[in-house]
Chain A
Amino acid sequence: MELVAIGCSTGGLRALQVLLRGLAPCPRTAFVVVIHTASADADSLCQLLARDTSMSVQEAQERAPVLPGVLYVAPPGYHLLIGRDQYFYLNVDPKVCFVRPSIDVLFESAADAYRHRMAGVILTGANDDGARGLRCVRRRAGIALVQDPEEAEASSMPEAALSLAGADHCLALAGIASELNRMCLS
């Protein structure tokens, strides 16, 4: 697995922290996170997440390569895309699902670039961003993981993803972590 793309919204920070603590080091996989937040500052988010992982945690930089072993955070206020050249691209196109960055935008571009070599993960959230993106990941032969809505702090995002895209695995955070470990280390 070359890329794991993760989207979350309401309750997302806590969910990410649990997920990261469950992950074994994956030196061959790049992780990219879109989290909806009112903050204009990616630095503090990176610092928070860095407490729970041994990976390097960085803000995704415009026109920088996507490198394995790094956890990237989408900068607030911009959509984050990955090109087929496996570089990051930012843009300020209109909001999608009322948000920017949008999970759909990241997932749809990443699916195009990575196909079966990626997994898309939808965690807790209170809107339906990510559902179309996850469908795109599956259509391009990527793996879809969705947090069990029963466990999610806000269930509508995982529910929307399940109903539009379905999932290869619908699990609690601990289960998502072990499934990712299995995929990334095999």
Chain B
Amino acid sequence: MKIEIESLTKRIPGTGDFISIDYNKCNNCERCLIICVMNLWRKKDGKIHIINDYKSKCLECAACYQVCEAEAIKFRYPTGGTGIIFEKG
């Protein structure tokens, strides 16, 4: 059974940016690539980055921030009243 996960989330737009990566700190541990439930992190040309439209997919769990070995990923909760909502959480 393949579950189409992108249709299973709902968001209020207008979050602004809330995740960033500090390349002075990133040590390419790739923990963010493994942990992200929505699979939003990529590695291209030896450099880790989050996809451009992460704001329309992110579950705001903050696992990437928490798991980062180098503490290179910054996370803050999106603007009040915006972002992911769980109706059956």
Partners in one complex: no
A residues neighboring B (CB under 8 Å): none
